[in-house]
Amino acid sequence: MWPEEFARRYRERGYWTGETFDGFLHERAERFGDRIAVTDGDRGIGYAELRDRALRLAAGLHGRGVRAGDRVVVQLPNTAGYFEVIFALFRLGALPVFALPAHRAAEIGYFCAHTEAVAYVTTDVHEGFDHRTLAAAAGRATTIVAGDPGGHVPLASLYGDPAGLPPGPRPGDLAFLQLSGGSTGLPKLIPRTHDDYLYSVRASARICELTADSVYLAVLPVAHNFTMSSPGVLGTFAVGGRVVLARRPDPATVLPLIERERVTITAVVPPLAQLWLDAVGGPARRPDLSSLRVLQVGGAKLAGTVAQRVTPVLGCRLQQVFGMAEGLVNYTRLDDPDPLVWHTQGRPISPDDEILVVDDADRPVPAGEVGHLLTRGPYTIRGYWRADEHNREAFTADGFYRTGDLVRHRDDGYLVVEGRAKDQINRGGEKVAAEEVENHLLAHPAVHDVAVVAVPDPYLGERTCAFVVPRAGQDPPTLPALRGYLRQRGLAGYKIPDRLNVVDAFPVTGVGKISRRELRAALRAIQKG
């Protein structure tokens, strides 16, 4: 939690307004009534109906013993029922722990044990996987299933009479636990309060110019911080807009949805952006995307060459988003000149977002030079959930969060992300930022996606290996061709990959990021073989 002097400042400056998620939904239900909040396939649910169903579910969960402060692991796909569950838990003051549909026994078991969860809410079958088989991993937590319960508690049976519900939470209370986006190990848990998170939601909706006429397409999992609040589904609810849920992110699913539902804004990660651009620019019938005003891209750095294709191909404005579930979120603004949008990752939400860029000894670096990003502010946490030892490394003594990102902080306040500190390769004393090399390789016509990782080397300490997913319809690139291409682009010789592995796809972590650890393990296996 924040020291009192900071909490007082954030309240006095109007960032923390005393709103809770319970009050947030109630106010929108009163204001927008039957206006559709969520479109899920052919079903539309209005604001008042969403509020009423959440209250009824809160009553049923309370009847099953869920109380304020209890943790409940929620693992649901993009469905309208997801919002009923989380707002029911918000009403009780219980803390949702946001698992992703891709998580399996290791993650679910860890979340339930680490948080001492009293319940685990999941679906029956999603993408061919039976989530009910994870009940054993949930341990003592009661398993509640949306759909066919298979011997567990059916979610549909829990809707009751909300007349006897206890008082709701306070603005400074914890609201939920999110997952860190780290690329190694099990995710850390991020405690967010009603006050701090709703400030970021309101500010994001304003920066992204959402209105009651906005239609937000949720393509990525709604449990992701990006999809939830940047401005995401909650930012759309804040202004009375409509959220459309996509079950799959592929172009064949999403592009017709944009056309049919007249979507105005959506958010993707760079590989999806490339897929969509290739699909729209391909030989198939071009969908009507005239309603789409903004494509947000975040989660990883977008190559400038890809950024420059968005408006010509999709006919909408690109907005780069660089944020983290721990707090800090940066946006390019919709009226920024194109070069800023193509080549930076935006500037922070708040005037009280404090940014430090430092060297390895925590000394500030000159503006425009690469350094480690540290931050604190009105919606950036001061510590992970029950992780005292890690917190001593992840936070400075005066409360700055060490993001692990390598950035350049420009004189105009915009940030340029250069990579992750732990993705830095030390090749004979020369530091290679993996993302810099990746961005150059992404401009090659035969490269669809790429990840550059370190290879242990007895002479140099580390060498570089590029894992490449080739572009469909193109011959896989060769190492000599890629090395020559990078030399032509003026890349320093020590940054040019020493080896190449062509793969069909990348392994990913539990939060959907490329698992460089698994790529390095694959390299070790190849070398031993």
Task: Write out pLDDT tens, residues 427-480.
Answer: 876 778 788 889 889 999 999 999 999 888 876 778 999 999 999 888 999 999
Does 13 have pLDDT greater than 80?
yes
E-assigned strand segments in 359-498: 370-376, 401-409, 415-420, 424-427, 430-433, 447-457, 461-470
Strand order in the sheet with 242-245: 43-46, 36-40, 242-245, 215-218, 265-268, 294-297, 317-323, 329-331, 347-348
Question: Who wins on pLDDT, 367 or 102?
Answer: 367
Does 170 have pLDDT greater than 70?
yes
Confidence of residue 106 (pLDDT cuts 50, 70, 90): confident
Does 85 have pLDDT greater than 90?
yes
Fold that domain 428-528 belongs to in CATH: GMP Synthetase; Chain A, domain 3 (3.30.300)
Contact (CB, 8 A) for 89 and 115: no
Does 266 have pLDDT greater than 50?
yes
Q: What is the pLDDT of residue 185?
A: 52
Which CATH architecture fits 248-420?
Answer: 3-Layer(aba) Sandwich (3.40)
What are the residue ranges spanned by the domains of the chain? 20-193, 248-420, 428-528
pLDDT in tens, 321-351: 999 999 999 999 999 999 999 999 999 999 9
Nearest to 359 by CA among 374, 343, 372, 342: 372
3-state secondary structure of 425: strand
Please count the CA atoms within 13 angstroms of the CA of 336 that sit on its side-chain side.
Answer: 23
Q: What is the pLDDT of residue 362?
A: 95
Interacting residues of 353 by C-beta distance below 8 A, sequence separation 6+: 328, 375, 377, 378, 380
- CB-based burial label for 229 (10 Å; 0-12, 13-18, 19+): buried
Which CATH architecture fits 20-193?
Answer: 3-Layer(aba) Sandwich (3.40)
Amino acid letter for position 211: T
Residue 384: strand pairing partners: none
Question: Who wins on pLDDT, 285 or 27?
Answer: 27
Radius of gyration of the chain (CA): 23
Domains 20-193 and 248-420 share a fold: yes
